Amino acid sequence: MDSRELRTAFGQFATGVTVVTCTSDEGRPHGATVNAFTAVSLEPALAQVTLNRTSKACQYLTGKPFAINVLAHDQLDVAWHFAGRPADRAPRWVDGPLAPLLDGAATTISCRPWRTYDGGDHLIVIGEVDAVEITARDPLLFHGGRFRYLGPVETHWSGSIDCPDRGWFDAAAVFTPLALA
């Protein structure tokens, strides 16, 4: 299998952009941009991230708590910062319940270590979810080798004359049944 072709094929699946955060061996906050994040189970509550074996974050996660920071649409600079292109201004850290968190993330998922599996040139790290923080912010996305944003939500009704907001009748219309003869 040609690795470039496989990478292109994998890139056709749109993903969110996350930064996995933990503490270094010296106790300093550390992060790595990762788009390989998956919800695994609700019971028990498990989430998975997949990291390149050569990454520092991969070394720091062994048996330690971590957080998955789902980046917000305006955090492109944060994604690049933790992907190896440091920004002029470092992202702001905040204390999390188990591991450091990034200020402004759309969602954070704090995890305790659960299992680690061999994933070829990557390690598959599964964490047991201990806490989440959800905001109303839209996420940053990645598709086809590019960062992207959500567009406005369109409903399947919008092109129909039966649409309750734009069609013959609005959503408040009340219909009285015909009298039975």
Helix (H, G, I), strand (E, B) or coil at 116: strand
pLDDT at 17 over 70: yes
* CA–CA distance, 49 with 154 (Å, rounded to integer): 31
Q: Strands, E, within the chain: which ranges?
A: 15-16, 18-23, 29-34, 37-41, 46-52, 66-70, 93-94, 101-102, 107-119, 122-134, 140-143, 146-149
Give the full edge-to-edge strand order of the sheet including 140-143. Answer: 15-16, 140-143, 146-149
Task: Calculate mean pLDDT across residues 45-63.
Answer: 88
* CA–CA distance, 178 with 169 (Å, rounded to integer): 18
The kind and range of the H/E element at 77 are: helix 76-82
Task: Calculate mean pLDDT across residues 64-77.
Answer: 95
Burial 19-48 (b: 16+ CB within 10 A, else e): bbbbbeeeeebbbbbbbbbeebeeeebbbb
CA triple 116-121-122, angle to 5 deg: 35
- Per-residue pLDDT of 125-171, as tens digits, reads 999 999 999 999 999 998 888 888 887 666 555 556 666 565 555 55
- CATH class held by domain 3-149: mainly beta
Q: What tokens were used for 7? A: 């990478």
Q: Please give the pLDDT value at position 157.
A: 55
Instruction: Please provide the average confidence, as pLDDT, over all residues in the chain.
Output: 86
Record the pTM.
0.80
Q: What tokens were used for 149? A: 């944003």
Q: Please give the pLDDT value at position 91.
A: 93
In the chain, where the domains are located: 3-149
